[in-house]
Every structure is written in structure tokens, then in C-alpha cells.
Structure 1
Amino acid sequence: MTGFDATLAAIVQHYLDDVAGPREHLSLLRWQIDQGHRLDERTTFPGHLTTSAVILSPDHRQTLLIDHVTIGRWLQPGGHYEPADFFHVSARREAEEETGVQGLRLHPWHRDGDLPFVIDSHDVPGKPARHEPPHVHHDLQYLFIADPALPLIAQLEEVHAAQWQDVSRLGEFAPKVLERLKGVEAPG
């Protein structure tokens, strides 16, 4: 097992032990780790790793969303995993690139660690132009805090817009995040 694989396996087990709900088993992700699949490569099927940033205003009333060009709907910023010292650093880099947001801080819930707030394995359509079949994204989702008064600059190659919206919008595409947020206090 490579260092990446061992780190990912440990984080997934920590998540299952300390965060996951009773119906979260992450069976496919765990099977792929056990099989030695290169989850850090986007050419690995049936699934591979992505990271995303759930960016909240300090009072938790707003979230920063992107209007995704390819998917055609509002989502949290994120993308395919890119090598970084920590998984949350990959998520932060994607958010900064896609939105131009400045001053992102890892939410205190993470206690400066790399434990995801949610691990969400979900189906995504393939891209015939890239010869990609439909597959699964194993998304490690991290909470961040940012000031909604700061300017945003959307990365127009990947997103139509970046915009602060009511946190309730998370229920449309990240219901586990929204439900879990009910038990998290806004930083004082």
C-alpha cells in the first residue's frame, strides 16, 4: 500500500468510526482501497477521489456556491483530487481557483485535522469526449469559513458564476452536509 493509499484508508476508517451515520458504509470506496485502485487518478473506474469545500459565512447563514459549467447546476466548489499534503488543502485549492475567494479558513469542527465533514460517494455522468464512462466520485467534503463581503472572481472555464446563497440550498445536492451542520456551532 502506498503512502497515499494508507493515508486515505486511515481517514476513511476514522470517518466511519467517529463521524458517519448508521447507514454510511462507503462499501465501494473501501473495496477500491482494498483492491489497490489508484483513487488519486481520474482515469480509475468505477470511481476515483474528489475533494470539495463547503464554504460558510461566519454565522453559517450563507454558503458559497458555483454554477458548474459541465453539470449545469449550483454546487459547492470542488474537483478531482490534486496531490497535496492534506486532503483539505486540495479542497481549498479547488475553491480558491473556481471562486477567487480569499482568506478561507478551515472550520473549527475539523480541529486543524484532515477528517472530512462528509464523505459522499455519488454517481456522475461520463464524458464521451474524454472516453469516460459513467462513474463514481468519492468526494471528501471539508468545511471552511470565509467573509461573504470579499469579492469573488469565477473561473469561467469551469463555472458560470460564484455566488453566496442561503445555506438551505445545500439540501438540494448535499443533504448530509446540511443535516450534519445542525449540530455544529458557528465559530464565536
Structure 2
Amino acid sequence: MNFDPAAFRQQVGQILDDHARAFGLPDERHAILRRQIMAGDDIHSRRTFPGHVTTSAFILDPTGRRILLIHHRSLERWLQPGGHYEPPDSLMGSALREAIEETGMHDLVIDPWHRETGLPVDIDSHRIPARPERGEPEHWHHDIRYVVRASEHDPLRPDLREVHGAEWRGLQDLETIAPQGLRNIRSLGLVGP
């Protein structure tokens, strides 16, 4: 399958517009990503700076009361599973692939809300520290985030080559990691009481 960087930029630009409208967010919230799209940057490539697209998954347990977090190896903190977008995956497919790879869980599914709307639940641009050993300057990850549902009987088997560990945590732990994402998830009623 051929990948068209211009079509991908257009798709991401449309998602930004639709997401901002759906959640009442100002366009300038994603100013850096919008500038990169306008400049024609290859935002699909992890070698594009000042930033590139990543995807991640807010994995909820069957009750919608807990979230699965991984301890990120290079950032040394608890985060939702995720990673670099890899063409020609869909953005949803990329988030699901990363979730499966990092947790070892195989019964994960994208929440139906995403399929109905075509939207991510959150989009966040955040700085990533320089990694000189990889030839990477400080840069931005433009993270496109999806809610993923876990089944009751899918065992957690984190890939310890990718992460230091994984744990089910209370939803409140997402407040310090992705506050806008948590607000959006709650406003849509995608979590338990």
C-alpha cells in the first residue's frame, strides 16, 4: 500500500479541526503541529523535527474504573502505552498496535465511540528531551490518543524490553499525565462512576 505524506497531513489537519470543534478547544492549542502541517513537514516520520506524530492508548478495564499505565523506559515515568506512528497504519490502528506491543494483551479493542465519530479522544503536543546517542534533538511528540477497552480475561504481560512495568491504576492517576484527556473521557461518559 502506498503512503501519501500530503494526504496524511491533510487527514491530521482535518482531525485537529474536528477534534477542536467537538471538545470546544481553541485552534491555537495545536499551533506547532498546525505550523508543521502548513510547512509540509513529514509529520509521519520520527526523524522529522521539531516534531512528529505519535499515538497512544488510554486502556480501560471492563468496568471503566481503572486505567493501565506503563513505566516508560527512556522517560522514567508512568504513562499510557504509545509510540511513534508508523505508516501506513491508521491512527487508531497505530494506537492499538502500540498498546498490544507494550502490554502483551491481545484482546484489546478500540472503543466504539472512535469508530462512530472518527475522532481521537485527546490530542496533546509535549516536549521530549534530546537523546544525543540517537541523534535526536529536543522535539515535540504530537500524540493522538484513543480509548481502548480490555477484556476481563486478557492477562497483562508487559514487554520488559519496551517498558519497566505495567500496572492497573485508578483513573485519578491520569489527572497528572493527561488532564484534558481525562476530562474528555469523563465528559463522553466512557468511564465508570
Same fold (TM over 0.5): yes
Give the Cα separation in 2 of the matches to 1:162 and 1:24: 34
Q: Identity over the aligned pairs, expressed in percent?
A: 44
SS class of match (2:173): helix
Of 52, 57, 65 in structure 2, the residue corresponding to residue 61 of structure 1 is 65
Contact kept? 1:16, 1:24, Cα under 8 Å: no
Residue 180 of structure 1 is matched in structure 2 by 184
Q: Which amino acid aligns with 1:110?
A: H
Q: What SS does the aligned partner of 1:79 have?
A: strand
- Count how many residue pairs are aligned between Structure 1 and Structure 2: 188
Q: 2:129 aligns with which of 113, 125, 131?
A: 125
Q: 2:139 aligns with which of 129, 135, 158?
A: 135
* 3-state SS of 1:26 partner: helix
Q: Equivalent residues in 2 for 1:1-188 (5 A)?
A: 2-22=6-26, 25-186=29-190
Q: Quote the offset at 1:11 in angstroms.
A: 1.4
**SS of the counterpart of 1:44?**
coil
| Residue aligned with 2:64, SS | coil
Per residue, is there more helix in 1 or in 2? 2
Change (3 A) 1:73 1:149: farther
Aligned-pair CA distance for 1:115: 1.1
Amino acid at match of 1:13: D
SS at match of 1:52: strand
Q: TM-score, normalised by structure 1?
A: 0.92
User: What SS class does the counterpart of residue 161 from structure 1 fall into?
Assistant: strand
What is the CA–CA distance in structure 1 between the aligned matches of 2:58 and 2:119, rounded to whole Å? Answer: 14
- The residue type paired with residue 57 of structure 2 is A
Q: 1:111-152: per-residue Cα shift (whole Å, max 9, x none)?
A: 444311110001110111011111110000001111254211
Task: Tell me the CA shift for residue 173 of structure 1.
Answer: 0.9
CA RMSD of aligned residues (A): 1.9
Equivalent AA in structure 2 for residue 27 of structure 1: A
CA pair 141-24 structure 1, distance change in 2 beyond 3 A: farther
